[in-house]
Amino acid sequence: MNKTELEKEIIKLRKEIEIVDKEISLLFEKRMNLAKKIGEIKKELQVELFDKDREAYLLETNSKNIQNEKIKEYYQRLLECMLDLSKEYQRSGK
C-alpha cells in the first residue's frame, strides 16, 4: 500500500472504532444502571456491595470470551475497572 492508501485505511479503521465505541458506551450505561439497581437491593438487604467471589467469577468467566490471548490481560484490567466504577456508582447515591 502506498501512503495515500494507508491514510485512507486509518480513516476507515477509525470510523469502525467510533462505531464500536458507541456500542460500548450504550452497554456501559446499561451495565451501570443494572449495577445501581443491585446496589439498591443490597442496601435494602443490608449486605456488602463488594462480593469477592462474584468478581472472581466474572473475571474468569468473561475472560474466556476473549480469544486473543495477547489482549486477555487488557480485558481483565478493563473489567476490573468497570467493577470498581460500578461499586463507586452504587455508593454514590446518584
Q: What is the pLDDT of residues 4-29, one digit of tens each?
A: 999 999 999 999 999 999 999 999 99
Calpha distance 56→62 (Å, rounded): 10
Where are the domains positioned within the chain? 3-92
Position 94 scores a pLDDT of 75
pTM (predicted TM-score): 0.89
| Helix/strand number for the chain, H first, E second | 3, 0
pLDDT (tens digit per residue) in 63-88: 999 999 999 999 999 999 999 999 99
Tell me: domain 3-92, CATH 3.40.50.720, correct?
A: no
Alpha carbons 85 and 36: distance in angstroms, whole number? 11
**pLDDT given for residue 1 in this prediction:** 87
Q: What is the DSSP letter of 15?
A: H
Which of left, alpha, beta for 46 (phi over 0: left; psi -120 to 50: alpha)?
left
Interacting residues of 85 by C-beta distance below 8 A, sequence separation 6+:
32
For 41-67, write each residue's pLDDT tens digit: 999 999 998 999 999 999 999 999 999
